[in-house]
Amino acid sequence: MSRDPLTEPDPTTSGHRREPGRHRRRLVIGALAVSLLANVVLIGTRDSGGIGSWRSQAGRLAYLSAYDEALAAMPSHRAYDVPTDFGTVRGYLFASPTVEDRRTNTDTTPIVLLPGWGSGTPMWQINLSGLVRHRPVYALDALGDAGRSIQSVPLDSAAAQAAWVEQALAGLKIKKAHIVGHSFGGWSATNFAIRYPGRVASLSLLDPVQTFGPIRASVVVRSLAFTLPLLPDSWRDAALADIGGTEQIDRNDPLTRMVALGNQHFVSHRSFPSRFSDPQLRSISFPVYAAMAADSAVNGDPDKAVARARRLVAGISIRSWPGASHSLPMERPAEINAELVAFMDRIG
C-alpha cells in the first residue's frame, strides 16, 4: 500500500487572541532585529556544506518550549510534516472556520509565508490574523534553521534553497500560491519564484534582503555586537536601534525568547545569498508587490533599490515607506496587511 507523503502530527487548535499592542510590537521587533543581526554575520562566516544542528539537547528543548508558547497565541491551525529530498519541512495551515482542510485551496488561492532566517513561523504572529480572514494561509519553517523543520542534506546552493520549498508545496498539494517573504525570507521567496514560476500566483516582498539592493556595510559592523560577547551592551542597543527601530527586548515574551534561544543554540550552515542579477529580475513574469522600508539599513540606499526594482521587474507595485525600519510588517501590520490583501484580490 502506498503511503501518503504528507504526514500530519496532532492538529493544533488555538483560540484567537487580541492583537498585540504597540508596546509589545516594539519588543518583538527588537527580537527579530537580533535574529537578523546574528544571521548576517554567522551565515557569512560558516561553511555551507554542513547540516544545521542544535548545540545541545537542553538548548533545543528550551527553544521548542518558547516556540510552542508563541505558536499557541496564533490563530487556529493544522500542522503538517512534509518529507523532501533535503529533510522534513514543518508547515502550518491557518484558515477561517469555513476552511477545514488544505484541499479547499482549490476554491481560493492560498498565501504561503516564508519567514526571515532565525525566526520561524511564529514571526508572523502580529500579521497573521489580518490575512487569515481573507484566504487560507500556509507558513513554513525554513529548512536549515531553528524551528520544527529537520534538515538531512546540505543546502549548498540557491537551487537547493528553492527545491525544498517546491517539494514542500507539492507535498502540501498547493498548486499555486501567493508567495510572501520578509527579510531573508524575501530572498528565499524570490529565489523560489524565479526557479518555479508555475507555482506562483504572485510574489510579495517585505523589505527583502539581497534582492534589489545590497546589505549596507554598517549592518555587518553592527552585527559584530551579537557575535562578540565581550563588547559592551551599549553597542548592542545601538545595533537594535539601527536595524530594528527599537532598543528594547523583553526576554519574558515567548516570541522574543524563542528568537534569542534559536540564535544562541542553533548552528546553521547555509551559504550567504548572492544578490539577484539583472537578467534574473528581468525574467520575472508574475505580479510582484514590494514594500521597502525607507529607514532600513539592509538595502544600501533604499531609493536606489526601489529604482532598480522598477527598472528590471515589469509591472512591479513597489513603494518606500517613510519612517519605517527593516521590521516594517511588524511596525505597520494593518497597513501592510491591507495592501497585501488588495494586491492579491486583484489577481484572484
More confident residue, 48 or 11: 48
CA distance 286 to 263: 35
The reported pTM is 0.84
* pLDDT tens figures, 77-109: 999 999 999 999 999 999 876 544 544 445 789
Domains, the chain, with CATH or none: 25-347 (3.40.50.1820)
What's the confidence (pLDDT) of residue 12?
A: 42
Length reported for the chain: 348
Q: According to the model, what pLDDT value does residue 171 have?
A: 98
Measuring CA to CA, which residue among 85, 97, 67, 80 is closest to residue 266? 67
- 231-272 pLDDT, tens per residue? 665 665 556 555 555 555 556 778 878 877 887 788 888 777
Q: Is the pLDDT of residue 282 over 90?
A: yes
Least confident range of 130-139, 177-186, 212-221, 322-331: 212-221
Q: Tell me how far CA of residue 309 lies from CA of 41, 195, 341, in angstroms.
A: 26, 18, 21
Q: Enter the C-alpha cell of residue 22.
A: 504597540
